[in-house]
Amino acid sequence: MIIRDIQDIIGSEREVQTETWTSRRLLLKKDNMGFSFHETIIPAGAELRLWYKNHLEAVYCVAGNGTIEDLATGEVHTLKDGILYALNEHDKHVLRGGSEDMRLICAFSPPVTGRETHDSDGSYELVKE
């Protein structure tokens, strides 16, 4: 059984920060769960152009607000507490923070190793061990 407290992750090697997001990685590839599990904070007003070409991702918004734009269709969807989106087709998208910070709970498959940041195309490298 794995038990983790988010307070123990904040400020540790499992927390990765950039100007446009903070990711607290609760479960990683080395935990052997078949997916990774993260708490991600998107600051108000941030804009991220992303394309997880090597990963599938499911995201559940638990606080704050923003939008996600599907770059294939141009559709823009509102994100707020209680909304889930799943990038089931490696969808290229733009994630925008709204009027307040968004707190997102995310699962990645395959799992990330822990120190990944986005490449120039908005993806995470697929790390093979």
Q: Which two tokens stand for residue 19?
A: 């100007």
Is-contact 28 114, C-beta < 8 A?
Answer: yes
Alpha-helical (H) ranges within the chain are 6-9
What's the mean pLDDT in 10-28?
94
**60-94 per-position pLDDT tens digit:** 999 999 999 999 999 999 999 999 999 999 999 99
The rounded distance, in Å, linking the Cα atoms of 48 and 100 is 16
- Grouping H, G, I as helix, E, B as strand and the rest as coil, residue 122 is coil
Q: What's the one-letter identity of residue 103?
A: R
Mean pLDDT value across the chain: 91
pTM of the entire predicted model: 0.88
Place of tokens 């599938």: 56
Q: What's the one-letter identity of residue 84?
A: L
Domain 11-109 in CATH 2.60.40.1220? The answer is: no
> Does residue 10 have a pLDDT over 70?
yes
Give residue limits of the domains in the chain.
Answer: 11-109
DSSP 29: G
